[in-house]
Amino acid sequence: MIPLLLGITFFSFMIISMAPGDYLTTMSQNPQIKAETITAMRLKFGLDQPWYIQYVKWLWNAIHLDFGYSFANQIAVFTLIKAKMLNTLILALSAALFAWGLSIPLGIVSAVRQNTWVDRSASFVSFIGLSIPEVFFALLMVLFAAKTGLFPVGGMKSIDFEYMSYGGQILDLLHHLILPTIVLGSISLAGRMRQMRANLLDTLRQDYIQTARAKGLSERVVTYKHALRNAINPLITLFGFTLADLLSGAFLVEVIMNWPGLGRLTLDALFARDLYLVMGSLLMASVMLILGNLAADIMLALSDPRIRYE
């Protein structure tokens, strides 16, 4: 994991440094800022040195949890990212919960009632969910919110958030969370549902299920105790992929629905050529993804005793 992170940082530092100009070039166009100030800042941030020296310096500081200084926001990158990352995590986790909470039961129902109208309509809806572009879906939801007024059109908090009671604040947050969660969750919902259905159908055809039925166990016990536990394993492995989809997908949802997360921050930083901020958010997004994969591996080991011996 550590070499992977090293590789990612090295690689991303290289491509970002390839970009023509930096934040100070934009600043130097401003006639109100003296040339000496720019030169002094360039020296202070080490921007006059070649990129690999800058990288080593950045890395050394990053090990000490100092991710540098955001030029555009005049604040330490870590402080800025910490707050935004929490918002992205809230959104990603709530979307994951939504997607998994719906896809597993739906997948089970369509597998158990294979080829009935329940199964067919579920697979039809899942095809649509699989195909609807996130940008489009998010815009439709904003349109829906604006036309009906049932949901806020964007953002994370109401204007009077600070004056609400503690419970009111949570309710307000949840109210703002609903539409982004639906948009983001639907990306993985359909895929996971199809996966769950296919897995369960496969498992139900196994010999040991036949044995369990022959023992005289009720169909309920056979399905939910014997088959389900085996069918759910591949889905746990997919949790890492789901998280990758969600983190990447959250980017667009955040921008369209004004959710103050890492995506919005990164986009603004890119436009402003705010080098350290881009690096910081890229790194954080990757760390979240790698940790998600790790969590998936651990969960799989916990649920499947065969894996521990490998």
Partner 1 sequence: MNKTFSNSPWALFWRHLRRNRIAMLGGGILILFYTLAILADFFAPYGMETQNRSLYNCPATGIHFIDSSGKFHLVPFVYGKVLADRKWTRYADDTTKIYPIHLFPKGESYRFFGLLPLNRHLFGVESDGRIFLMGTDQFGRDVFSRLLFGGRISLSIGLVGILLSFTFGMLIGGISGYFGGITDTLIMRSTELVMSVPALYLILALRASFPINIKSDDMYLIMVIILSFIGWAGMSRIIRGMVLSIKENDYVTAARALGFGHLRIIVRHILPNTLSFVIVAATISIPGYILGEVALSFLGVGIAQPTASWGNMLNQAQSVRVLTSFPWILAPGYAIFLTVLAFNFLGDGLRDALDPRKIK
Residue 141 corresponds to which tokens in the numbers above?
């939801």
- Cβ closer to partner 1: 18 or 214? 18
Phi, psi of 75 (to 5 degrees): -155, 155
Per CB under 8 A, the list member of 75, 86, 143, 171 interacting with partner 1 is 143
Per CB under 8 A, the list member of 38, 255, 295, 299 interacting with partner 1 is 255
Per CB under 8 A, the list member of 136, 168, 225, 229 interacting with partner 1 is 136
User: Does 134 contact partner 1 by CB under 8 A?
Assistant: yes
Size of the site for partner 1 (CB under 8 A): 50
User: Does 18 contact partner 1 by CB under 8 A?
Assistant: yes
Closest approach of Cβ 24 to partner 1, in Å? 16
Strand ranges in 3-100 using DSSP code E only, listed in sequence order: 69-70, 75-76
Name the nearest CA neighbour of 90 among 227, 260, 207: 260
Phi, psi of 69 (to 5 degrees): -120, 135
Per CB under 8 A, the list member of 153, 209, 217, 299 interacting with partner 1 is 153
**One-letter amino acid identity for 12?**
S
With CB under 8 A as the contact rule, which of the stretches 61-69, 112-120, 285-293, 298-306 interacts with partner 1?
Answer: 285-293
User: Does 169 contact partner 1 by CB under 8 A?
Assistant: no
Question: d(Cα 25, Cα 31) in Å, to the nearest integer?
Answer: 12
Count the Cβ atoms, other than its own, within 10 Å of residue 66: 14
Buried b / exposed e along 122-133 (16+ C-beta atoms within 10 A): beeebeebeebe
Question: d(Cα 246, Cα 45) in Å, to the nearest integer?
Answer: 34
Q: Is 206 helix (H, G, I), strand (E, B) or coil?
A: coil
User: Does 27 contact partner 1 by CB under 8 A?
Assistant: no
Q: Which residue has the tokens 């609903």?
A: 178
User: Does 2 contact partner 1 by CB under 8 A?
Assistant: no
Per CB under 8 A, the list member of 267, 295, 299, 301 interacting with partner 1 is 267
For binding to partner 1 (CB under 8 A), which residues are involved?
Answer: 4, 7-8, 11-12, 15-16, 18-20, 127-128, 130-136, 139-140, 142-143, 146-147, 153-154, 244, 247-249, 251-252, 255-256, 263, 266-267, 270-271, 273, 278, 281-282, 285-286, 288-290, 293
